């Protein structure tokens, strides 16, 4: 994916910007949200390494700080599909899906290969590769998001084409029906043949659709109230989520009240924010590299964060260690994604 920074360039479709529409002004607040959410995802997975190493409080608090990222990504997806960059025909919708699925397949194969070579999680490559056709696999567990994002994008795209364009997107609609019927079909196959296929992961929970639609409405609406009030609400929501995760349940469900409160507070705080002119080229470039960053970051988390967390003795330095290693993993992930965007590899690597 290229990295245009001109104001006339249309904003990218979240999270990987498959196409741009001439004449639309680029929204740098959307770019900023995308960069923040990508960094937050790195923090969440870095925090998981600290939890696995026994630094529970530090890990849970780090997870709390980044737990808004996935729901906000779904909100950005809804805004792009319904308002920011809606598809104009079925070909564009299928092309958009291809620009997600192609890097997804490449990185699934790369993570499976790394697991096979290192004996890491998901080392049973043949079985895991088969499971990857049905749902997320351990070697690339962070890709579960795309198993929900792809059918969500397909659903919203079909709705846009039917309602706005008044067309019948036969291929996209058939694919959507196949996604919807696959779980029941898998159950029938199990009953008839005795073979138990892997769990079907290509599905969209209702909470995800709500994040997409409500988020699109919030991001497309005029400014709703003072930004300071939204920021204060975000601080309260983060505090509430931290208490919930420390005392009730961790990880908090993305469809839960606590996460929803944080999500919409973050959206209200950042939506419409003015990014300084001098920062716009950098924010746009990082935004365009966010999908690749998301795809590659787990490697850096495992290489950098895991070993540090595992060797760190108990003590007050765990939060600082998490902050330093998470920033390093995020910075390296963004850097390599920006670099492979230059020779045009983004088509395959995100």
Quick: pLDDT tens for 305-348. Answer: 999 999 998 778 999 999 999 999 999 999 999 999 877 899 99
- Which pLDDT value is given to residue 13? 42
Tell me the C-alpha distance between 250 and 181, whole Å: 32
Tell me the C-alpha distance between 49 and 320, whole Å: 14
Tokens of 341: 């965007």
Is the per-residue pLDDT at 68 higher than 90? yes
Contact 152, 74 (CB under 8 A): yes
Backbone dihedral region for residue 108 (phi beyond 0: left; psi -120 to 50: alpha; all else: beta): alpha
Tracing tokens 């890709």 back to the chain, one arrives at 143
Contact 77, 96 (CB under 8 A): no
- Environment class of 168 (CB within 10 Å of its CB; exposed 0-12, middle 13-18, buried 19+): exposed
SS3 273: coil
SS3 23: coil
Is the per-residue pLDDT at 14 higher than 50? no
Is the per-residue pLDDT at 215 higher than 50? yes
Tokens of 57: 């409080």
- Which pLDDT value is given to residue 124? 63
Tokens of 271: 């939506």
The pLDDT confidence band at residue 123, using thresholds 50, 70 and 90, is: low
- Environment class of 59 (CB within 10 Å of its CB; exposed 0-12, middle 13-18, buried 19+): buried
What is the phi/psi pair of residue 112, to 5°?
Answer: -65, -40
Q: What is the mean pLDDT of residues 184-198?
A: 85
Name, of 62-71, 117-126, 177-186, the range with top average pLDDT. Answer: 62-71
Name, of 34-43, 136-145, 221-230, the range with top average pLDDT. Answer: 34-43
Tracing tokens 């025909």 back to the chain, one arrives at 89
Cα diameter, the chain: 63
Which residues 6+ apart lie within 8 Å of 172 measured at CB?
Answer: 90, 93, 94, 154, 157, 158, 161
Is the per-residue pLDDT at 300 higher than 90? yes
Residue predicted with more confidence, 6 or 173: 173
Contact 319, 56 (CB under 8 A): no
Tell me the C-alpha distance between 107 and 122, whole Å: 14
SS3 28: helix
Q: What is the mean pLDDT of the chain?
A: 90
Q: What is the mean pLDDT of residues 235-249?
A: 97
Backbone dihedral region for residue 215 (phi beyond 0: left; psi -120 to 50: alpha; all else: beta): alpha
pTM for the full predicted model: 0.90
Of 65, 47, 66, nearest to 56 by C-alpha is 47
Tell me the C-alpha distance between 258 and 302, whole Å: 29
- Which pLDDT value is given to residue 32? 98
Tell me the C-alpha distance between 25 and 46, whole Å: 35
Contact 108, 303 (CB under 8 A): no
Tokens of 215: 């988020």
Q: Where are the alpha helices (DSSP H) in 248-342?
A: 257-270, 280-288, 290-300, 306-311, 318-341
- Which pLDDT value is given to residue 190? 84
- Which pLDDT value is given to residue 313? 86
């Amino acid at each position: 994916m290229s990295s245009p920074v001109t104001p006339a360039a249309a904003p990218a479709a979240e999270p990987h910007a498959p196409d741009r529409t001439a004449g639309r002004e680029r929204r740098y607040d959307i770019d900023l949200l995308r960069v923040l959410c990508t960094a937050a995802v790195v923090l969440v997975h870095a925090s998981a390494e600290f939890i696995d190493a026994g630094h529970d409080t530090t890990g849970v608090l780090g997870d709390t700080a980044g737990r808004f990222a996935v729901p906000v990504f779904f909100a950005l997806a809804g805004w792009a599909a319904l308002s920011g960059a809606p598809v104009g025909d079925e070909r564009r919708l299928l092309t958009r899906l291809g620009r997600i699925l192609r890097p997804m397949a490449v990185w699934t194969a790369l993570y499976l290969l790394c697991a096979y070579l290192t004996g890491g999680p998901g080392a049973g490559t043949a079985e895991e590769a088969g499971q990857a056709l049905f749902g997320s696999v351990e070697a690339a567990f962070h890709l579960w998001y795309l198993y929900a994002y792809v059918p969500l994008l397909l659903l919203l795209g079909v709705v846009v084409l039917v309602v706005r364009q008044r067309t019948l997107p036969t291929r996209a609609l058939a694919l959507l029906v196949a996604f919807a019927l696959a779980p029941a079909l898998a159950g029938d196959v199990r009953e008839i043949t005795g073979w138990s296929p892997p769990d079907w992961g290509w599905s969209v929970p209702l909470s995800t659709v709500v994040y997409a639609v409500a988020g699109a409405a919030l991001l497309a609406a005029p400014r709703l109230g003072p930004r300071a009030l939204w920021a204060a609400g975000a601080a309260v929501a983060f505090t509430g989520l931290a208490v919930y995760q420390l005392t009730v349940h961790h990880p908090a469900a993305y469809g839960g009240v606590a996460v929803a409160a944080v999500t919409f507070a973050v959206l209200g705080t950042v939506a419409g924010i003015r990014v300084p002119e001098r920062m716009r080229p950098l924010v746009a470039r990082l935004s365009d590299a966010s999908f690749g960053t998301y795809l590659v970051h787990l490697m850096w988390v495992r290489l950098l964060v895991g070993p540090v967390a595992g060797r760190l003795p108990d003590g007050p330095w765990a939060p600082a260690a998490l902050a330093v290693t998470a920033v390093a993993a995020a910075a390296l992930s963004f850097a390599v994604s920006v670099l492979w965007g230059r020779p045009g590899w983004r088509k395959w690597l995100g």
